[in-house]
Structure 1
């Protein structure tokens, strides 16, 4: 047989590592990454270019809106010199009648023009009349000579200026024009227009648009956080100029903290900034393309439009993902062809492996069968052992519950003996009296005496009957149990101790009978144990009070048993429900009562909790599932 055609030859050849193949695959991977990056880059540039064009179109609309809003006020200051009272006021500035007449005229003009304020100043810049003369912060008496719009108007050119008012701190655009008579300037007429209405419309819209002055200070913005911020740090001479003219008065003019800022084509910029929409919302980083249009007038303002580029980047990611899918398709095609080429070698390897598996198959089957048989036998034995253990545990638990009952009865033996001894003594005495009364013929007295003997016997029967019910073994079925009845039955067993130890007992029940899913006899066992523990805890207390309260809440029945004892220490609370843990002196308790009570409550599907009351003492709470009177299940 030719060695080149043997299965061993092909197997060794397939397992030989090839550094050239690894290098080739590395080059292919890098080429794929480069292609995907180029697709992402060019798609992003095209999408951002579309956003830039759309932003420029939107800016044209905003530019037209601003120019229309300003043009209708451009003529207004010049028309004021047509009023003779205005001319006379500047010639006779101290005439009160002229001042009053001009104030009323300016007030009327301001209302008709819907401007913010109209005022008249003399050549020294002192305001002589104003439309807001009625208001406490009227412009009358203010000096505006330091304002650029006043200086321009005094030089004979129309004054145009945007700034924050120094009197009312209200921003606005000022139109100023000289008032002339016979070619001689007498004073200035100024109209202040509030541009905030434009800004309010911007805020209500979805666009992000801003207006910046020639220094890069944003004074109108649809984003309140950017208002009175600067696009770049201001030079010292610019800051000095703004402080001298008080254009923005007390505003900080801090630069916007751009995380990144790079130039794009056609004067656009791509920026990233950290912003926070609400005070309780986490900060987020947004990236936008900033499209700008610089206005020729007034004063070289710049309109700015921000377009969110997240959609553009999403489109770029989608294109990159599509290119990945396309490249993946070609790679799969390549692997498919390559797989077909390796089919012959794979068949040879499979033939060798199949022969080897066939040779060892029977041995493996026998070993596995033996292991499974051993495992099955072990599992059967373990299931049988566990079943017996569960039966023993169930029997032991029932015996433990019964032992707990007997322990409670043993602790109450003294009071039970006293309860039975008293009526027995009374029966003996009254039976002797009955004999004497019959001998003397006092039949009515004898009849009453016999009636009392019957009542005492009935009471003794009730005591022994209740003890018999309490002592019998409980069933495992859960039924709908009346909680007030269970509380009353358990209370009957400790009633004598309450009287002897002078303990005040209070019971708070809902107005209607209330039922819970449990087993009545075992619930009474838990209640008797809690009553007895509460009475033991109050030994030596000045105030002895046992309070039981029942409430229904959210489908649950809560039974609270509270005492006025010393309460529970932290280390006791941690181990309270551990078996054989007790705080009683040796010989007075086994430490099983609360452990058994907690286990019984858990078998009911409930919870037994312990805590300290705010006013002192301990509170034990039994939490059970609420039920109707008819419910029952095993």
Structure 2
């Protein structure tokens, strides 16, 4: 079995080597195709951008001859060589050339001699020069308008000549010529390392970001085109030579001999002499990018192949080890299964014990809260007895009066007293019912009481005398909010806080204030007293059980009150305040 695995691995390695060789060839071909496609897209994009710049530049200057033809001084200078008109026109052309960035603007008479020019101040001024042999002059005099890209015979600088004929009364007087140079445009074309150029229909380079290529050809000139170029001096005294550029569709190469570099060409129509605008983008950067991508893919494939080989090499070893480990694994599984059964049994016992402990803790906490309520009842017993004694005494008085009223034949008044007795017995019943509910141990039922009923129940247990010391500031709308929690336990929270406040303020009336406000799904109850405040020594341990500053106190009231509030998704805390007194805040959730 091991020998068979080794033969399979050897066969796989041989097949992998063949696949890698084929993948290398395919990756190289993919890199070249992808690089050329990306370069062609880039070349076309650059060509469109260059075309837009050229069109924008020419649109501005092609309007100038039309405008200048309407100047009154132009016809006057051509019709009559008036020195004053000529001087004024020279100044106008000079100002206009400076503002429009035109290389030169000049006026040629019908005899071919320049009458006025924007460069009249310079040593190379066109004034007095004869340009009758230039094709743009002849074309404009014949057809009304003409354009020619040529080398300047005086300045020696290339540019596009835009000529327009000046007529008066049906008679041709001469031409106005605007020369445009493309230095800034050529620099913009060569910013990113590419090459931009415009060629005429014969393949002569007119505008280019490579100045050395200007007036050179991308293809051989015909004899007639060569004779015309020499005769008109369009490209200078020397005939155009070949540029170090080879173009064939979108493929191009720059340089000569072994130093040729591959480029990709994007070609569009050029608005100069029916020429073509070409953008050349070097192919090498795109080829390098494509090869990097192919290399990354190749490395990823090699990593995957290496991982597969490693897996196969280890597979035969694992098969050997697998047989040896199965027996040991079976024994280990049996041993661990037995341990798991024992552990599961122990966990079951511990879970039951924890559940019993939790139930005991809950019962103990409820017993402790009930003991706290009973202790609180011990403190308010006197007030409750006073609350019951007063109705009992009144009942006796009303009963005695009713007896006398009946003997005196006054049944209506006796019936009125009996109604009062019924009302007083209902008050006694409400007090005793509240006491029974407060002391009874029962399962809490959430969402069963409004804020108003909780506050009223707490005040009823505290008694009228104690209630007279408490100022209640709760709006009617807030009283109607139903709170999440058991009514009796929430009453216990308020009674504990109010009882502490009563102990702090003594018998001063109005020294305690209870306010409440609803904010979203929370009801915030604030109890403020004007007593001596909380001793800083126990402020940090205020809610710790059995911590108290009152003599004879157990220190359970605040701890139990906060536990009850938190049990119903609320909280209780001490609100820091300036001056004497203390403020406690209870936050409870409003039922929705």
Q: TM-score range by the shorter chain?
A: 0.5 to 0.7
Q: Give the corresponding residue for 1:73.
A: 60
Instruction: Specify the SS of the correspondent of 1:598.
Output: helix
Q: Is the 8 A contact 2:575 2:584 kept in 1?
A: yes
- What is the CA–CA distance in structure 1 between the aligned matches of 2:533 and 2:279, rounded to whole Å? 75
- What is the CA–CA distance in structure 2 between the aligned matches of 1:509 and 1:310, rounded to whole Å? 79
| 2:365 equivalent to 1:397 | yes
- What is the CA–CA distance in structure 1 between the aligned matches of 2:495 and 2:282, rounded to whole Å? 77
Q: Give the corresponding residue for 2:205.
A: none
In the TM superposition, residue 468 of structure 1 has moved relative to its aligned partner by 1.8
- What is the CA–CA distance in structure 2 between the aligned matches of 1:424 and 1:391, rounded to whole Å? 44
1:1-150 equivalent positions in 2, closer than 5 A: 47-78=34-65, 79-80=67-68, 82-84=70-72, 122=91
- What is the CA–CA distance in structure 2 between the aligned matches of 1:493 and 1:432, rounded to whole Å? 30
In the TM superposition, residue 444 of structure 1 has moved relative to its aligned partner by 6.3
Q: Give the corresponding residue for 1:563.
A: 528
In the TM superposition, residue 402 of structure 1 has moved relative to its aligned partner by 0.8
Instruction: Specify the SS of the correspondent of 1:579.
Output: coil
Q: Is the 8 A contact 2:102 2:179 kept in 1?
A: no
Q: Give the corresponding residue for 1:281.
A: none
Q: Is the 8 A contact 1:498 1:504 kept in 2?
A: no
Q: Is the 8 A contact 1:549 1:559 kept in 2?
A: yes
| 2:375 equivalent to 1:407 | yes
Aligned residues: 446
Q: Name which one, 1 or 2, has greater alpha-carbon Rg.
A: 2
- What is the CA–CA distance in structure 2 between the aligned matches of 1:378 and 1:123, rounded to whole Å? 110
In the TM superposition, residue 567 of structure 1 has moved relative to its aligned partner by 8.2
| 2:587 equivalent to 1:622 | yes
Cα–Cα, structure 1 residues 504 and 334, in superposed 2: closer, same or farther, change >3 Å? closer
| 2:560 equivalent to 1:593 | no
- What is the CA–CA distance in structure 2 between the aligned matches of 1:366 and 1:485, rounded to whole Å? 65
Q: Give the corresponding residue for 2:148.
A: none
Q: Which residue of 556, 569, 580 corresponds with 2:546?
A: 580
Instruction: Specify the SS of the correspondent of 1:474.
Output: coil
Instruction: Specify the SS of the correspondent of 1:510.
Output: helix
Q: Is the 8 A contact 2:451 2:481 kept in 1?
A: yes
In the TM superposition, residue 64 of structure 1 has moved relative to its aligned partner by 2.5
Q: Which residue of 335, 353, 371 corresponds with 1:385?
A: 353
Q: Give the corresponding residue for 2:567.
A: 603
Instruction: Specify the SS of the correspondent of 1:412.
Output: helix
Q: Give the corresponding residue for 1:140.
A: none
- What is the CA–CA distance in structure 2 between the aligned matches of 1:561 and 1:60, rounded to whole Å? 78
Q: Give the corresponding residue for 1:168.
A: none
Q: Which residue of 434, 456, 460 corresponds with 1:488?
A: 456
Cα–Cα, structure 1 residues 412 and 420, in superposed 2: closer, same or farther, change >3 Å? same
Q: Deviations over 1:9-41 (max 9, x none)?
A: x9xxxxxxxxxxxxxx9xxxxxx9999999989
- What is the CA–CA distance in structure 1 between the aligned matches of 2:92 and 2:333, rounded to whole Å? 116
Q: Give the corresponding residue for 2:435.
A: 467
TM-score by length of 2: 0.54
Instruction: Specify the SS of the correspondent of 2:443.
Output: coil
Worse-matched range after superposition: 394-403 or 435-444 = 435-444
Cα–Cα, structure 1 residues 64 and 351, in superposed 2: closer, same or farther, change >3 Å? closer
| 2:424 equivalent to 1:456 | yes
- What is the CA–CA distance in structure 1 between the aligned matches of 2:481 and 2:287, rounded to whole Å? 63
Q: Give the corresponding residue for 1:520.
A: 487
Q: Is the 8 A contact 1:510 1:550 kept in 2?
A: no
In the TM superposition, residue 123 of structure 1 has moved relative to its aligned partner by 7.3
Q: Deviations over 1:36-73 (max 9, x none)?
A: 99998996676455433321222222222332333233
TM-score by length of 1: 0.51
- What is the CA–CA distance in structure 1 between the aligned matches of 2:559 and 2:357, rounded to whole Å? 21
Q: Is the 8 A contact 1:490 1:525 kept in 2?
A: yes
Cα–Cα, structure 1 residues 456 and 576, in superposed 2: closer, same or farther, change >3 Å? same
- What is the CA–CA distance in structure 2 between the aligned matches of 1:598 and 1:383, rounded to whole Å? 29
Cα–Cα, structure 1 residues 514 and 266, in superposed 2: closer, same or farther, change >3 Å? farther
Q: Is the 8 A contact 1:581 1:591 kept in 2?
A: yes
Q: Which residue of 293, 299, 308 corresponds with 1:332?
A: 308
Cα–Cα, structure 1 residues 461 and 509, in superposed 2: closer, same or farther, change >3 Å? same
Cα–Cα, structure 1 residues 498 and 540, in superposed 2: closer, same or farther, change >3 Å? closer
- What is the CA–CA distance in structure 2 between the aligned matches of 1:427 and 1:351, rounded to whole Å? 99
In the TM superposition, residue 399 of structure 1 has moved relative to its aligned partner by 0.4
- What is the CA–CA distance in structure 2 between the aligned matches of 1:505 and 1:412, rounded to whole Å? 19
Q: Which residue of 497, 503, 506 corresponds with 2:473?
A: 506
Instruction: Specify the SS of the correspondent of 1:122.
Output: helix
Q: Is the 8 A contact 1:36 1:320 kept in 2?
A: no
Instruction: Specify the SS of the correspondent of 1:586.
Output: coil
Cα–Cα, structure 1 residues 543 and 302, in superposed 2: closer, same or farther, change >3 Å? farther
Instruction: Specify the SS of the correspondent of 1:585.
Output: coil
- What is the CA–CA distance in structure 2 between the aligned matches of 1:570 and 1:603, rounded to whole Å? 28
Q: Give the corresponding residue for 2:513.
A: 546
Q: Deviations over 1:147-197 (max 9, x none)?
A: 895899424479xxxxxxxxxxxxxxxx999xx9xxxxxx99999xxx9xx
Instruction: Specify the SS of the correspondent of 1:626.
Output: coil
1:69-468 equivalent positions in 2, closer than 5 A: 69-78=56-65, 79-80=67-68, 82-84=70-72, 122=91, 153-154=118-119, 155=122, 156=125, 213=188, 317=293, 320-321=296-297, 324-325=300-301, 328-329=304-305, 332=308, 336=312, 338=313, 347=320, 357=328, 361=331, 371=339, 375-376=343-344, 378-427=346-395, 449=417, 451-468=419-436
- What is the CA–CA distance in structure 2 between the aligned matches of 1:572 and 1:302, rounded to whole Å? 90
In the TM superposition, residue 591 of structure 1 has moved relative to its aligned partner by 3.0
Q: Deviations over 1:309-346 (max 9, x none)?
A: 9999699547733663366347636864x568x57x96
Which consecutive unaligned segments of at least 5 residues does structure 2 have? 3-12, 14-18, 106-116, 128-160, 167-175, 193-251, 255-262
In the TM superposition, residue 428 of structure 1 has moved relative to its aligned partner by 5.3
Instruction: Specify the SS of the correspondent of 1:623.
Output: strand
